[in-house]
Amino acid sequence: MGGLSSEREVSLSTGNSVVEAMIRKGLKVFPIDVDRNIANNLKGIDLAFNALHGTYGEDGCIQGLLEYFKIPYTGSGVTGSALAYDKLKTKEILKFHGIPTADYEVFYRNQKQHIKRNLNLPVVVKPTNQGSSFGVSIVEKENQWIQALENAFNYSNEIIVEKFITGKLLAIGMNGEQPMPIVHIRPKSGFYDYEAKYTSGKTEYICPAKLSEKEAHKCKEVSKNVFKVLRGRGFPRVDIILDNENTPYVLEMNTVPGMTPTSLLPMAAQEIGMNFDDLVIEILKTAQLDHGVPS
C-alpha cells in the first residue's frame, strides 16, 4: 500500500482498512508501505494483498516483481494489469471486440503546439495512465481547451480526448466473471472528480441502481465481456456510462478498486450480504500467480 504514485494517500486509506479487516479475522498481517526498497521488504511474505493504487501498483510493475519472487497476489496479472491501466490500450481492445466506448482521439506532448481537435465539444480530456480522476477535465467551452490539455499533460506524455457521453455513471464490481449489484454514482457537482470521490457528502450513491431489468442485464453483460477481454482476475470494478438511448459505454476496468468501508466495491458486496471483512477474505482467496505455483 502507499507507494510512490499520485494516489498514495488513497492507497494508504485502502491498505489500512484492509489491514484492520485482516486483523479482525485473526490473520497475521505485515503492512508494507512501498518504497524503493520493496524487493527487500517482500522477504518472508507468503501472499500479497495488493492495495497499491496508481503507477507501479496497477500497471503490472508490482505484479512482475511478485511473479519473480513467486508470491501469489490479488488482482489482475502482469498483462491484465498493464492493459487495464493504460486507457488507450483499453479503448483499442474494446473497439476491436465491439464493446461500446466513447469516440476518441490521442495526442502527445511533443505535438502540443500543433494539436487540432476533431471532436466537437463537449469532450473529456484525460491522461492515459492515471487513476482517481487526476488530470481529467470536461471541456464545454473553447476557452477551457488549452487549460485542460496542460492539466492532462502534467500527468502523462500521452492523453486521450473523448466524446462526452451524457447518462448515468455506473460502477459494476466483479466477483470473478460474475457481476455484483450495480452502483449508480451521482456527483452533486455533475463531475466525478477527485473531490467528489473522496469528500463526504459530495456524491450520492444508489445501490442497487434503479435500472430496468433490461438495462441492468445489458450493463452486466458488457461488464462480463470487459472482464474477459482485459484479462480480469479477482474483484475488479468496471465503470460504465449508460446513455439516454440505453447504450452502456465502458470507461475503464479498475483492477485495484478502492477498499474502504465506504468504497464502491464493498457497497455492492454489502448488498448481497457480504460484509467488509468477509469481502477482504474473499479477495484474498483469489490471490494467484500468472506463472505456476510458488516453489
pLDDT band at 89 (very low <50, low <70, confident <90, very high): very high
Across the chain, mean pLDDT equals 91
Out of 132, 156, 175, 223, the active site residue is: 132
Q: Which of 11, 76, 175, 254 is catalytic?
A: 254
> Which residues have CB under 8 Å from 262's CB, separation 6+?
none
Asked if 219 and 172 touch (Cβ cutoff 8 Å), the reply is: yes
CA distance 182 to 207: 6
Which domains, ranges and CATH numbers included, belong to the chain?
A: 8-75 (3.40.50.20), 83-99+166-282 (3.30.470.20), 104-163 (3.30.1490.20)
> pLDDT digit string (tens) for 122-166?
999 999 886 657 788 899 999 999 899 999 998 888 999 999 999
Does 246 participate in catalysis according to the annotation? no
Phi, psi (degrees; rounded to nearest 5) at 255: -80, -20
Look at residue 4 and tell me whether its pLDDT is greater than 80.
Answer: yes
Catalytic residue status for 252:
yes
Q: Which is the catalytic residue, given 198, 205, 278, 290?
A: 198
pLDDT at 113: 63
pLDDT of residue 188: 77
Q: Which of 59, 86, 162, 252 is catalytic?
A: 252
- Catalytic residue status for 7: yes
What distance, in Å, lies between the first and last C-alpha atoms of the chain? 25
Which listed residue (258, 271, 290, 292) is catalytic? 258
295 has pLDDT over 60: no
**Closest alpha carbon to 250 in 87, 139, 122:** 87
Catalytic one of 2, 3, 5, 7: 7
Q: For residue range 163-214, what is the model confidence (pLDDT) as tens digits?
A: 999 999 999 999 999 999 999 998 876 666 656 666 667 789 999 999 999 9
Percentage of the chain modeled with pLDDT above 90 = 78
Does residue 9 have a pLDDT over 60? yes
Which of 50, 104, 239, 249 is catalytic? The answer is 239
Mean pLDDT of 237-251: 96
Can 105 be counted among the known catalytic residues? no
Q: Is 46 one of the annotated active-site residues of the chain?
A: no
Has 15 been annotated as catalytic? no
Distance CA 235, CA 282 (A): 9
pTM across the whole model: 0.91
Helix (H, G, I), strand (E, B) or coil at 149: helix
234 included as an active-site residue: no
Whether 239 is catalytic is yes
